[in-house]
Structure 1
């Protein structure tokens, strides 16, 4: 009788849950940082819907899946005045704990629980670090005086006609 109850409990626990669902869950917390700090971030899912906006550094919890056997994918856009916009892709890949369903015989976890909850996926990269490049602005764009050095042969003819000879050697 004792063996029957023990066997029943083991069988039920192996078939009623998914390993990835138990260990990982259906959401994942990711960190977003930028250099320089305090860049604005916008996270958009693959349907084009904004799921989060904020300022770096930020910690955001995102869904791992978008449906039955469908991994989540996100586009993270970093923006800051004076810097070029940078976009990073975050995508779902198969979680190692999902494979444990095969080893431990969790057929329901393998085919139903983990794929339906999205727990079978891991979002990568889990720590998103973006280095923003400074915009290259010229002195003319800033309305400042500038000095341009050119060869005489590269000066336009009309400008050369207006030029004055400063000194001769």
Structure 2
């Protein structure tokens, strides 16, 4: 029985990536503007509009597209009457759990096989997209 418990624990550690265990597949991003009340639309890397709304608002965005090392990229476009449109990028990057956690727990299996398919290895930046809108020239 003791050998079975040790085997099960070892298998769980070896067959998992640290970021997959600790991280989430999606992340809340705060979308704000100055002045408030701007319309926004968020497009992913394929050009598909996935979210529209008005500032301020929190949105939940996927961090991975499910492909091998498939971190997501987004463009947030802000519009408001009498102001110039503004587009801000949101990009994913590897987080500390992927980089450091796999040194301790996941090893090569975590680095190369488990975490690259899961959004848990990524963090979206910026975590708060704040557009400073410029008035249009009269």
Q: Deviation at 1:6?
A: 4.4
CA RMSD of aligned residues (A): 1.5
Q: Deviation at 1:111?
A: 2.1
Structure 1: which 4+ aligned runs deviate by more than 6 Å?
A: none
In the alignment, the residues of structure 2 paired with residue 60 and residue 36 of structure 1 have an alpha-carbon distance, to the nearest angstrom, of: 19
Does 2:72 align with 1:104? Answer: no
* 8 Å Cα contact 1:14-1:106 kept in structure 2: no
TM-score normalised by the chain length of structure 1: 0.74
In the alignment, the residues of structure 1 paired with residue 57 and residue 102 of structure 2 have an alpha-carbon distance, to the nearest angstrom, of: 33
In the alignment, the residues of structure 2 paired with residue 18 and residue 40 of structure 1 have an alpha-carbon distance, to the nearest angstrom, of: 39
What is residue 142 of structure 1 aligned with on the other side?
Answer: none
1:11-60 Cα offsets, whole Å, 9 max, x none, are 12212322112222111111101111110010001111001111111111
The 5-angstrom pairing of residues 5-154 of structure 1 reads 5-66=4-65, 67-99=67-99, 100-137=101-138
Query: In terms of Rg, which structure is larger?
Result: 1
Q: Deviation at 1:68?
A: 1.2
TM-score normalised by the chain length of structure 2: 0.90
Identify which of structures 1 and 2 has the higher relative contact order when contacts are C-alpha pairs closer than 8 Å and 6+ apart. Answer: 2
* 8 Å Cα contact 1:27-1:62 kept in structure 2: yes
Aligned to 1:47, the other structure's residue is in SS state coil
In the alignment, the residues of structure 1 paired with residue 69 and residue 85 of structure 2 have an alpha-carbon distance, to the nearest angstrom, of: 32
